[in-house]
Amino acid sequence: MYRICDVAVVDPRDGSVTPHQDVHIDGGRIAGIGATSGPAGEAPDVDGRGRFVVPGYADMHAHPLNLGDPTPELRLMLAFGITGYRQMSGTPGLLRRRRRAADDDRTPRLLATPGPVLTPLNAGRPGTAAAEVRRQARDGADFVKAALITPEVYAAVQAEADRLSLPVAGHLPAGIDVRAASAAGFRSIEHLGPGLGVLAGCSCHEEQPAPGRGPIPAPPFRIPFAGRVADRMLQRLVVNPAQLTSSATLDATRDAIAGFDEGRARELAREFAANDTWNCPTLIRLRGQQLCDDPAFAADPDLRYVTAKERRTWAAAAAAFRRKFDERRRAVFAEQFALQLRLVRILDEEGAPLLAGTDAVGAAWVVAGASLHDEFDLLAEAGLSPLRILRAATSDPARFLHRERDAGTVEAGKEADLVLLDRDPTVSVAGLHAVGGVVRGGRYHDGATLTAWKEEAGRR
């Protein structure tokens, strides 16, 4: 039992800030909150003076468990205030291990994971796809992730998942209209599509056949029987799927940009809100693809936290992007990115639910942990308020995951997964970056510990 003393408690739902509170932590939970009874005594009490406490951040689109040894990346995430994450690709082994694993309060909490992502390899036809959904439900998956499936397979997947009360999330199936997917119950759309997925639904050219969905990201996982060459190819694809954009897709992108209709976009956003269809835009991931050769990436000081090999891979992806696409083509990607920012603002203004996510680990220029802060900045650039961004990383993920009893606010009885900030996060996005300490599962990690974990990651 200890106290975080004399701290300002922030409620992400309404932005209220209650100063001079003591937050009592007992075991892994918040035992109580009340007016401060005085300054912190000796450790384990924590001095909260001048600080703000918010629920721990959730990275709602990440892949750390794809790594052989995820510990450095997980520590890095925690060091940046991420106390929980939604793993976006699973394996039968991962589901098995999770059932046995004890909670580790030195890594973020695994909030949800699917089994293997659905692709033609395990979900090529409606029957096999439905069987795969049943298998994943049995193995304890929290949702199924669509990656590369046909509309016909999607219908079978959604029906089977509905029957088992399992959400379907992921990439919009190619060839399916985004409105139809939303109406059918698709729970969360990742990367705004990917490709033209959501943008195509905002076009006044929509009566035309929907364009191909463009840069088709390969599933970020290893195909068991793929040879080393195929494996390397897949990995390159994960690094930057935009690299595979054909000229036909680029033309379709140009069309979608030209045909963008704000009224259609607002209408779609309202449908998302009505159907409870969430979007996890992963703007940092989209930026890393569509502006892959932006020199700002190569100069990012946070690159020191990734391995030299990863840095080389990303630099090579940037060079390949520049070789493949001339200035005119790169300008289309840049316009697409700008339009996606505008779209996110519209989603927010119309009340469509949003999640903060990054697509770490493996994606070009997406540094585990640090990238959630890049995402905060991009959401701010899109026009979201600091409070709205805080919500997309805290109370909204709790709502999305039906974990509101345990998480999402700083309240008695909830999990003690918290971030201590040195600045007010409701005033500016800089406040969201000012992580001065993290509580995970009740255990307090001070600023020095967080810095040490970052440095450790940087020494690899």
- Report the interface residues with Zn ion, using CB under 5 A: 88, 359
- Across 63-123, the runs of DSSP E, i.e. the strands, are 82-87, 109-112
CB nearer to Zn ion: give 85 or 260: 85
| Euclidean distance between CA atoms 368 and 358, whole angstroms | 8
CB nearer to Zn ion: give 362 or 442: 362
Q: Smallest distance, Å, CB 42 to Zn ion? A: 44
CB nearer to Zn ion: give 76 or 218: 218
Q: Smallest distance, Å, CB 88 to Zn ion? A: 4
Tell me how crowded residue 174 is: count the other CB atoms within 10 A of its CB.
Answer: 18
Backbone angles phi, psi at 433, to 5 degrees: -80, -20
Q: Which helix (H) or strand (E) holds 360?
A: none
First-last CA distance in the chain: 36
CB nearer to Zn ion: give 372 or 420: 372
Q: Smallest distance, Å, CB 56 to Zn ion? A: 21
Q: Smallest distance, Å, CB 63 to Zn ion? A: 6
Q: Smallest distance, Å, CB 27 to Zn ion? A: 34
CB nearer to Zn ion: give 65 or 88: 88
CB nearer to Zn ion: give 359 or 415: 359
CB nearer to Zn ion: give 2 or 85: 85
In sign, the C-alpha dihedral spanning 284, 289, 294, 297 is: positive
Q: Smallest distance, Å, CB 61 to Zn ion? A: 6
Map residue 240 onto helix, strand or coil. Answer: coil
Measured CA to CA in angstroms, residue 121 lies from 66, 87, 160, 394 at distances of 18, 20, 18, 35
Backbone angles phi, psi at 82, to 5 degrees: -85, 110
| Euclidean distance between CA atoms 312 and 387, whole angstroms | 36
Q: Smallest distance, Å, CB 25 to Zn ion? A: 33
Q: Which helix (H) or strand (E) holds 203?
A: none
CB nearer to Zn ion: give 105 or 359: 359
- Residue 114 burial (10 A CB sphere; 0-12, 13-18, 19+): buried
CB nearer to Zn ion: give 294 or 359: 359
Q: Smallest distance, Å, CB 444 to Zn ion? A: 31
CB nearer to Zn ion: give 188 or 336: 188
Q: Smallest distance, Å, CB 410 to Zn ion? A: 29
Residue 46: strand pairing partners: 4
Q: Residues 125, 131, 137, 138: what is their CA dihedral angle, to the nearest 10 degrees?
A: -160
Q: Going by C-beta distance under 8 Å and a sequence separation of 6 or more, which residues neighbour residue 11?
A: 17, 18, 409, 410
**Rg of the chain over all Cα atoms, to the nearest angstrom:** 22
Q: Going by C-beta distance under 8 Å and a sequence separation of 6 or more, which residues neighbour residue 433?
A: 373, 376
372 close to 419: Cβ distance less than 8 angstroms: no
Q: Smallest distance, Å, CB 89 to Zn ion? A: 7
